[in-house]
Amino acid sequence: MVQITLPDGSLREFPGPVTVAEVAASIGAGLAKAALGGKVDGQLVDASFSMSANAKLSIITAKDPEGLELIRHSSAHLLAYAVKSLFPDAQVTIGPVIDNGFYYDFSYSRPFTPEDLMAIERQMVALAAKDEPVVRRVLPRDEAVAFFKGLGEHYKAEIIDAIPAGEQVSLYREGEFEDLCRGPHVPSTGKLKHFKLMKVAGAYWRGDSKNEMLQRVYGTAWASKEDLQLYLTRLEEAEKRDHRKLGRELDLFHIDEHAPGLVFWHPKGWTVWQTVEQFMRQVYRDSGYQEVKGPQLLDKTLWEKTGHWDKYRDNMFTTESEKRDYALKPMNCPGHILIFKQGMKSYRDLPLRYGEFGQCHRNEPSGGLHGIMRVRGFTQDDGHIFCTENQILPECDDFTKVLKKVYADFGFHDILYKVSTRPAARIGSDALWDKAEKALMDSLRHSGCEFVISEGDGAFYGPKIEYTLKDAIGREWQCGTIQVDFNLSERLDAEYVAEDGSRQRPVILHRAIVGSMERFIGILVEQHAGALPTWLAPVQISVLNITDAQADYCREIAAKLQKSVSNQGLRVDLDLRNEKITYKIREHSLQKLPYILVAGDKEKAAGTVAVRARGNKDLGVMSIDAFIELIAADIASKA
């Protein structure tokens, strides 16, 4: 007798071994049809998996996250099946699940074309319609090697050959195609209905540039037609919001082949940068930070003391002068510690908060560079708080409150909180790590923030909180962080005089809110699809004349606007070109300006302007003073 315990605690008894599919069928025909696999004592298995002893079982359907993983994994194999049926000479390699989909790498004599991709997708649809069973079998390693060599699948044979001798490997067959795989898979190809192939890219075998360049076919798969369509719509929206495309169209910045991974900021883009930086600078002043500035180049011996040289050397740009080795700083922390060490500090000086808009350089691989989101040179709104152990909780608590307010001002209200704990390779004692991790979690609880724990993802010198934003189309961006560090003050011999006269090491809190300024501005551009809120827009108003007769009047308007709004002035563009007014309005609308002011003879005579807001909204005719009140309220609201 085999007893199966279901998630609701109910028991089902069977006279002998029973498969997941059979248990599903015993519950109901609907569940039997929907079952994609099972979770037996916590392990994901095929629907054909047989249980010969008492077990806990969850039936997995497309509604479960694991079910979606099964669909995507099986879709990758369906892709390989389709490729092999259309291109028998192609060799298959690997096909894992990735975020939102899957890919499969192939070796073939020529590049796949867009027409090939369409044909492969059609073949996948035809094979899925055949509803062929997906059947698992197990072979000894050597037999499996011989089997794939006999098929001419040398990449598969190479993969299996790396498995220790004497072990067994599992293979899955669907129709005429059989592939190496640990599994599990859906029961039949008919379960795969909602997929789409996306693109083809190059990928080296085993990720080594010395090996053959393979063809990587990417696809996406979902549990329902609606989910697939939502994803494709989201991709279309993301493409419209692509900061690289908008950066060109709005004349904000560019990336040049003469400086890969570095950003050339144009006047409009630099205006956005300065607006963000000056806003953040005021936030830090209001929060008690003193601004500092450290050098770009620091001696190798400093990086050796901190531990960065051993763990981060390959990502550092280095140079040599007068037989001394230097590195461009990849982070600002050591420089801030050296500033702290100048002059003896007392417990009365703590917490001491240093802030810097510090430029850093990291030697990122060229394949990982992405517009201004991932670069080699970037500026952090970096800060370090030197404090006592008793001050960790209030400092972390205050930081989270300020961060939430800043993100709301930039239009982000949905924040995810994650505590990353000690990694395997780390410095410092377990006792110190215990203290640091507890302090971070307590601070979030105190701030009323729900959080998840990410085991082992902390920095080598301390745990951290990661603050992740959700943007307008649901994408997640990790930006802010605060890290508790008991170690670097020891390594760089930083100390303060405690109340009892003893010398103590300060705790160092590493923190940033926007993180990389470049990346954050890229996120803002995509969040707002280039239509930045009025307070951030590089040009807030364009003043347009209808004929030359209003040119002087428009100049007076522009001059008044540039001196208004609490003496900070507005960012105004004056367009007096001899072009049709409809042409000029359309051109400035495409630049996503918040406001366009138009003046003709009637407006000039009355001392007014016709106001158009972004989105082709006609706000009517108003006086200059009334418009200034309107835009001042708009800027103040940060809407």
Which residues does residue 97 pair with via DSSP β-bridges, in sequence order? 102
User: Given CA atoms 125, 127, 130, 132 in this order, what sign does their dihedral have?
Assistant: negative
Q: Which of 191, 329, 333, 483 is catalytic?
A: 333
- The catalytic residue among 194, 384, 422, 519 is 384
Asked about 384 being catalytic, the answer comes back as yes
Q: Is 382 an active-site residue? A: yes
> What pLDDT score was predicted for residue 598?
97
Closest CA to 197 of 221, 224, 233: 221
**The one catalytic residue among 91, 123, 215, 380:** 380
Residue 602 bears catalytic tag: no
pLDDT value for 427: 76
pTM of the model: 0.81
SS (H, E, C) 398-438: HHHHHHHHHHHHCCCCCEEEEEECCCCCCCCCHHHHHHHHH
pLDDT at 204 (0 to 100): 87
- Is-contact 96 102, C-beta < 8 A? yes
What is the per-residue pLDDT for 165?
83
Q: Are 263 and 377 in contact (CB under 8 A)?
A: yes
**Distance between CA atoms of 337 and 326, rounded to whole angstroms?**
18
Tokens of 598: 């138009």
- Where the chain has pLDDT below 50, the residues are none
370 among known catalytic residues: no
Catalytic residue among 105, 179, 382, 471: 382
The answer to whether 258 is a known catalytic residue is no
Selection from 278, 265, 317 nearest residue 296 by Cα: 317
Catalytic, 510? Answer: yes
419-454 confidence digits (pLDDT tens): 999 999 887 788 888 888 998 999 899 888 999 999
Which one of 336, 362, 426, 519 is the catalytic residue?
362
pLDDT of residue 567: 53
The Cα–Cα gap between 623 and 609 comes to 6
Catalytic residue among 84, 464, 528, 614: 464
pLDDT at 242: 94
- 185 flagged as catalytic: no
